[in-house]
Amino acid sequence: MNTNTSQEMPVRLSELLSRRFERIVVLSGAGMSADSGIPTFRSGSNGLWHEFNPSDLATPEAWEDDKALVWGWYEWRRGLVMAARPNPGHVAIGELQRLHGTSVITQNVDDLHERGGATGVLHLHGSLFAARCDTCGAPHVLGDPPSEIQRQVMPPRCPYCDGYIRPGVVWFGEDLDPEVLDNARERIAACDLLLIVGTSSVVYPAAGLSGYAPNGATIIEINPQPGPSLTDYQWQTTAAIGLPLLLDALNHDQGGEK
C-alpha cells in the first residue's frame, strides 16, 4: 500500500496519471461529503439521536416499529444536507465530468455531487430527496424539513393509496435497485481509470464493484483511512484536497479542455 498525507500530488501518482484516459469513473462514499460537514454514517448521530446507533434506524424493522422516529431522523439528515455546500472535491468531480466525460457512482444519499456540477449520478443506496410510498411505490415530492429539530415526526400519507411516505434510501436488509447496480457494473467494466473516493470498501455489494474494472485499468483510492481494496495507488488524503490536485494533473497531462 502506498500512502501520502501531503497536500501535494505524490510523484508516483503523477506518473500513473501521465497517460491519456478516455473513460474515467468515480466511485464515492461517505468520506466524499465529510468535508462538507455531513457526518459519515459510521460516526453516529448527535443531538436528539445520540443514544441511537444509525444502523438501528436504517432498517425496515425500525420503520415498522416507529415510523415517526425514523422519519424524524431522516428529515434531520435531509436538513443537514440542504444546509451543507459542495466541497472542492465535489466541484472537481463536476469539472472532471465536464472536461473528460467522467461517470459518477456514489453510495451517498445526499445531492452534493449534483450541486457540485455532476449529472447522471448513479445513487447506489438511493437518495434523501427521492421519497416514495411504502405501499404503492409512488414517488413523493418533499417540502422543506421541519424548521425545528424534532425526534418524532409523522411521515406524510400517499395521496393515491393513503400509505405512508418513506425515505427513498436503501435500508439494511433491502436489495439495491438491480438496474442501478447493473448500470454501475457496466460503467466500471468499461473504464480505464477508476477513482475510489471516501469509502472504506467494506459494505457489499458496493465494495465489490472495483472488481469489475478491466485488466489494464488504473485504480486509485483517495481516502484519509484507506481500506483493503486492491488498487494501483492509495492516496491518504481527503477528497477536498486530493481531487482538485488530481483534476489539475489530468488537465495538464491530457491537454486541458476537450
Q: With DSSP H G I counted as helix, E B as strand and the rest as coil, what are the percentages for the chain, rounded to 5?
A: 35, 15, 50
Query: How do the domains of the chain map onto residue ranges?
Result: 1-38+85-127+176-258, 42-83+132-166
Q: Quick one: average pLDDT of 134-157? A: 92
CA distance 172 to 74: 15
The 10s digit of each residue's pLDDT in 115-131 is 999 999 999 999 999 99
Q: What is the pLDDT of residue 200?
A: 74
Q: Are 176 and 170 in contact (CB under 8 A)?
A: yes
Q: What is the mean pLDDT of residues 71-99?
A: 96
Query: Which residues lie below 8 Å from residue 112, measured CB to CB, with a gap of 6+?
Result: 32, 33, 36, 38, 81, 84, 85, 86, 87, 90
Chain-centre distance for alpha carbon 249? 23
Fill in the amino acid letter for 99.
L
Which residue is listed with cell 472504506? 200
User: Under CATH, what is the fold of the domain 1-38+85-127+176-258?
Assistant: Rossmann fold (3.40.50)
Q: What percent of the chain has pLDDT above 70?
A: 88
- Exposed (0-12), middle (13-18) or buried (19+): which is 102, by Cβ within 10 Å? buried
Q: Where are the alpha helices (DSSP H) in 84-177?
A: 88-100, 112-115
Specify whether 125 is catalytic.
Answer: yes
What band does 184 get if pLDDT is binned at 50, 70 and 90? very high
Residue 4 has pLDDT above 80, yes or no: no
Q: List the catalytic residue out of 100, 113, 123, 125.
A: 125
**At 123, is the secondary structure helix, strand, or coil?**
strand
Mean pLDDT along residues 10-17: 93
Neighbours of 255 (CB within 10 A): 9
pLDDT at 18: 92
pTM above threshold 0.95:
no
Biggest distance spanned by C-alpha atoms of the chain: 59
Q: Which CATH class is domain 42-83+132-166?
A: alpha beta
Above 80 in pLDDT, residue 201? no
Three-state DSSP state, 166: strand
Give the DSSP H/E element, type plus range, for residue 75.
helix 67-83
Strands 165-166 and 132-133, by their bridges, are antiparallel
DSSP class per residue in 197-221: ES--S-STTGGGGGGGSPTT-EEEE
